Amino acid sequence: MNAILLQDALNDSPESWGSFTLVHGIEHDALDAALRKAGHEVEFYPLFDFPAKDNQDYLMLHAQVHESHGSALGIQLGTDLSTADFSDPDVVADWLQAHASIHLQENRALGLV
């Protein structure tokens, strides 16, 4: 999957954010399947329906999943995905860029790109 699709969502547009949450959920399901196929036991939470606002609990669970992936793949994430102020468009843009980069690293490590 093209993880770069995850970097340009607008959390103030229900259509854009809805597309993002769908692609993001599919991407996580694909990563989980590839990790398990490779013999890794990793954290898993259903990650569809990413809330655009008031999402701190989701961010924590989501970050745990990426930390689990990073540990299994020997990847240093370099970014704390567990917290961000999603009411600030600049913070959202930075978070989305860092997040897409982590997905790309995970995809590369698994040979998916």
Is the whole-model pTM more than 0.85?
A: yes
Q: Is the pLDDT of residue 2 over 60?
A: no
Q: Is the dihedral of CA 64, 72, 44, 108 positive or negative?
A: positive
What would the pLDDT profile of 54-89 be if each residue is shown by its tens digit?
Answer: 899 999 999 999 999 999 999 998 899 999 999 998
Domain ranges within the chain, ordered by starting residue: 3-109
How many Å apart are CA 112 and CA 109, to the nearest integer?
8
Identify the residue with better confidence: 113 or 35: 35
Check residue 73 and give its pLDDT.
Answer: 96
Reported as a pLDDT band with limits 50, 70 and 90, residue 13 is confident
